[in-house]
Amino acid sequence: MRRIGVLTSGGDAPGMNAAVMAVAKAARYYGMSLIGIKRGYNGTLCHSRNIEDDMVELDLDTILDIADLPGTYLRTARCLDFLKPEMRMHAANNIREMGIEGIVVIGGDGSYQGARSLCELGIPCVGIPGTIDNDLAYTENTLGFDTAVNSCMEDVRAIRATSRSHDRPGVAEVMGRHCGDIALRTCASTGAEICIVPEVPWSIQEVADRLCRLIDNGNPRATVVVAEGAWDAMHPFDWQHFLTERGVKHVYPDTTINSEYLALILKHKCSAEVRATVLGYTQRGRHPSAYDSWFAFEAGNLAVNLLRNGIGNQVIGIKDGRVFYMPITMALQQKREFDLALYNLVNSL
């Protein structure tokens, strides 16, 4: 191949820039030109007035310093238009017109679905798993996950320091819509006492009972770490009525439960000054850790080598600490297994 493209899609993840940088270095080494496709699959549709707002040639010298930066230099966005078959065909035609012979796609499950569609249309693609959630079953770690956990670990440690100072429990909400790995690893890394994840059904009463036992046993500063998607796994509980009865204001019928309300419920059930903190986008906007930077470097180089040798329809991952690749269709068919043993260990200890 003489010209390849690279795009970042879905949510941004630490290490995406490092992966783009690695792709650029490998492309330069093998004498290939590199086109940066902007805002994910939106760039392939070429809706902008200026083509350089959609696709631009990446010169190694101009992006030499982006590897250590958080976010994504190419920008990212979801692309609902790409769900339509006629728009995917339009994108494939645009890609060919630009002389792009293969694409490195950096993103999560939705990004891989798009890459598979392009492969079916004759555009070879190689995927790098760029998502902090760690929700792709075929790989032990996704790009950005390690950084996200380290970010949460630092923040939860800071929360626990204040909790110790005031002898009051804390609720920390971390990211993870369908995958509780960030919450689980954060608990295991910080000594947080209670972990709530989307994979395991839970009840407010169960959490309250456990927190009350911790307080009664001399731990008034326990930490509850909850994944943002865990609310869907909560057993039915009329929490709005519970809080309204106790004089809590601003609880409306159309309000959905969140970590702040959970803290208020635990405050009343456990007679403790429970405080909530949402860690939010700090997890996605950090500088990549050494682990994620290493993974980005190896994955970016492997992706270019695969395309260079005419091998597409593949995704890159980590198994037993080593970078490997496998067919994208096979990767998407694998079922993720939640580490229930570690979850039970965290919550029992």
**Strand-by-strand arrangement of the 33-37 sheet:** 55-57, 33-37, 3-8, 103-107, 125-129, 314-319, 322-327
Read off the tokens for 242. Answer: 């519970």
Place of tokens 């996950």: 145
Amino acid, res. 322: R
Are 129 and 143 contacting, i.e. CB atoms less than 8 angstroms apart? yes
b/e burial code for range 228-241 (CB count within 10 A of at least 16 → b): bbbbebbeeeebbe
How many angstroms separate the CA atoms of 172 and 148, rounded? 14
Q: Cα separations (Å) of 178 from 39, 135, 192, 204, 206?
A: 24, 8, 21, 19, 21
254 is catalytic: no
| Spatial CA neighbour of 35 closest among 81, 101, 91, 86 | 101
| Spatial CA neighbour of 128 closest among 147, 106, 112 | 106
How many angstroms separate the CA atoms of 72 and 59, rounded? 16
- In Å, how far from its chain's centre is CA 96? 31
Read off the tokens for 215. Answer: 């307080």
| Spatial CA neighbour of 205 closest among 234, 244, 173, 168 | 234
Q: Which of 12, 133, 146, 292 is catalytic?
A: 133
What is residue 109's three-state secondary structure?
helix
Beta-carbon contacts of 255 under 8 Å, excluding residues fewer than 6 positions away, are 240, 261
- Residues known to be catalytic: 133
